[in-house]
Amino acid sequence: MQKRFVAIWFRHLLTDWLALRRPELRSVPFVVAIKDHGRLLITATNSHAESEGIHPGMVAADAKALVPSLEIIDDIPGKGDKLLKRLGEWCIRYTPVIALDSPDGLILDISGCPHLWGGEHDYLKEIITRLRSKGYDVRAAMADTIGTAWAVSRFGKVKPIIQYNCQAEALLPLPPAALRLESPVLERLQKLGLRTISSFMTMPRSVLRRRFGSGILQRLDQALGNEDEPIKSLLPIEPYQERLPSLEPIRTAVGIEIAVQKLLEMLCKRLQQEGKGIRTAVFKCYRIDGKLVQMDIGTNLASHNTHHLFKLFELKIATLEPALGIELFVLEAPKIEDIPPHQEALWADKPGLEDNALAELLDRLAGKVGADTIHRYLPDEHYWPERSIKTSFSIKDKPSIRWRSDKPRPVQLLARPEHIEVTAPIPDYPPMLFRYKEKVHHVKKADGPERIEREWWLDGGQHRDYYHVEDQNGQRYWLFRSGHYNGDGSNEWFIHGFFA
């Protein structure tokens, strides 16, 4: 894919922001200044002050003498960077790769994006128009390289879109400052009368390196596309992501459903080709008011089944608030897993936890009642009943040991044994009756005791003698006495579980 970049220059970033909040400043010259060694230095100007010959770096007192009506506003440290970052996040609707170009610019990697807006001309026009409608004085240019786009956005005078492989022609008439060179290099070029890039671009590289250093060669190579210029993206890019802009703002649930369906089809087609499936997915909606709303889903097994994944999203569409309309939809899959190759007929016939239909049923239930209400447990290597099971976070987890089946175990184990009152003959006989939650249970059948020793290497205490009992109503319980029978009635009895 041919690389394409857009450089955006906010000519009066901070003063435009101030004018938006104080409309009375729009028609008067004003500057932003900061204290420096007992004097005020101008850090930003608006267009009216600039037209009067005032520029950043001037002493505020000198500027005031030049323009008596000039208003001076105290600078807000760090405000420009924060504002630039917010504008970069807003531009995510046009491309996922955005880098900050401090103090007043953004770099957009737009490779593969303009066709979504009808072509490069409409794409660039849309960006510039939207930013200007927000009150910012911007210039932008598009080219094959960051260097050329940056140069044309700030110094170009003809056209903002540089055609493919035409960087050299676009750079020739521009001044050396368009190459982002350091001040000492620019001063030497000025003294030698080299006032345009065309006056030195064809010079031998050895001459340029000897006179101006290697930096000028690097900037030329970057601008011409002979050397890559890395950029640090403002937001991390999800490796599995699909984007769908809308020509008109979407405000209806039907429109959102269509967007979900199309994005899932695109993403699942790619995942299917790579033998992967979604475990978690996030559907993001960028509204025209600049706000982001989103919904997410999770699956028990990796899936690229478009119909199943759509059903999971469909349960949450009602939670989205489109407000005045959504202009960009993004589907991201931050967690994916490999799906082993198999025949579909065999897949459908697999029993138990390997049945794909069971995993999809659990996904739908989790979407309705919440993922935290569904649990799976595996056996753990402990004798003490409370520690003999552990929570599994994936349906694919395999037990490291077998479930114990030589002794009866309740289907429901209490998290903590609960104290009960028991009447029992002596010694080591099961209870004749017990009282639990103010109800008396007469024991009709009983089995035991089963002694379970405490795990002394973990904690201290007495052993337990467990009994499996059935009351007059046919309900079965798991009871135990703590420690040996001592004959003085001080033994404690507990209920620990319920059998089916």
* pLDDT tens-digit series, residues 278-324: 999 999 999 988 889 999 998 888 889 999 999 999 989 999 999 99
Q: Where exactly does CATH 1.10.150 map onto the chain?
A: 167-224
371-427 pLDDT per residue, tens: 677 777 787 778 788 877 777 766 667 777 777 777 888 888 888 899 999 888 766
CA separation for the pair 371, 215 (Å, rounded): 56
Low-confidence ranges of the chain (pLDDT < 50): 343-348
**Torsion sign across C-alpha atoms 319, 253, 373, 476:** positive
> Which residue type is seen at 169?
E
Compute CA distances 475 → 12, 411, 472, 497, whole Å: 80, 13, 7, 11
CATH class of 5-155: alpha beta
Residue pair 98/108 in contact by the 8 Å Cβ criterion: yes
According to the model, what pLDDT value does residue 487 have?
63
The neighbour count for residue 57, using CB atoms within 10 Å, is 7
Cβ–Cβ contacts within 10 Å for residue 454, how many? 16
- State residue 490's pLDDT score: 63
- Coil vs helix vs strand at 153: helix
The C-alpha angle 477, 468, 443, rounded to 5 degrees, equals 70
**Is beta strand 292-303 parallel, antiparallel or unpaired with respect to 138-143?**
unpaired
Q: Identify the pLDDT of residue 343.
A: 34
* 182 to 70, 87, 179, 195, 214: CA distances (angstroms): 31, 27, 9, 15, 12
Alpha-carbon dihedral of residues 173, 177, 180, 182, nearest 10 degrees? Answer: 140
The per-residue pLDDT for 348 is 44
Which residues of the chain form CATH 3.30.1490.100? 241-356
Q: Which H or E run includes 284?
A: strand 276-287
The secondary structure of residue 373, as a DSSP letter, is: G
CA atoms within 13 A on the CB side of 151: 29
Q: In whole angstroms, what is the distance from residue 348 CA to residue 124 CA?
A: 50
Residues 6+ apart with CB under 8 A from 367: 297, 312, 315, 316
Q: What is the per-residue pLDDT for 4?
A: 95
Q: Which ranges of 205-245 does DSSP label H, i.e. alpha helix?
A: 205-212, 214-224
- Rounded CA-CA distance 211/399 in Å is 71
Closest CA to 7 of 97, 141, 101, 114: 141
Q: What is the distance between the alpha carbons of residues 459 and 59, in angstroms, rounded to a whole number?
A: 75
Please tell me the predicted confidence (pLDDT) of residue 354: 58
The residues of the chain that CATH labels 3.40.1170.60 are: 5-155
Q: Considering the domain 167-224 in this protein, what is its CATH number? A: 1.10.150
Find the angle CA(104)-CA(105)-CA(106) to the nearest 5 degrees. 150
pLDDT of residue 346: 37
Q: Which CATH architecture has domain 241-356?
A: 2-Layer Sandwich (3.30)
Burial of 433 (0-12, 13-18, 19+ CB in 10 A): middle
